[in-house]
Amino acid sequence: MTMAAATATYSIPNPLEAPLRLTLLELVGVVCEVTEDDREVVATVVHMLRSGRVELTGNFRDVPVEVFSD
């Protein structure tokens, strides 16, 4: 799956829907289930965090998303 295909499946967040709350480990694990390309994993995780669909819990809950991108 290409990055374009991975990001095309996400819709604009509904402000009435609560974001998914996951640890960074859980989020990376789920994304790794659909790709083996490490760059795609990072890009998808960053996209999901920036979109507001996912919020991190645990040790990384207050870390800015820019830390996870290049």
pLDDT in tens, 15-37: 677 899 999 999 999 999 998 89
Give me 4's structure tokens. 């374009």
Range of the domain at 31: 3-68
Q: Is the pTM of this model over 0.85?
A: no
One-letter identity of residue 10: Y
d(CA 1, CA 59): 30
Number of Cβ within a 10 Å radius of residue 22:
17
Average pLDDT (43-66) is 91
How many separate domains does the chain show? 1
d(CA 64, CA 5): 26
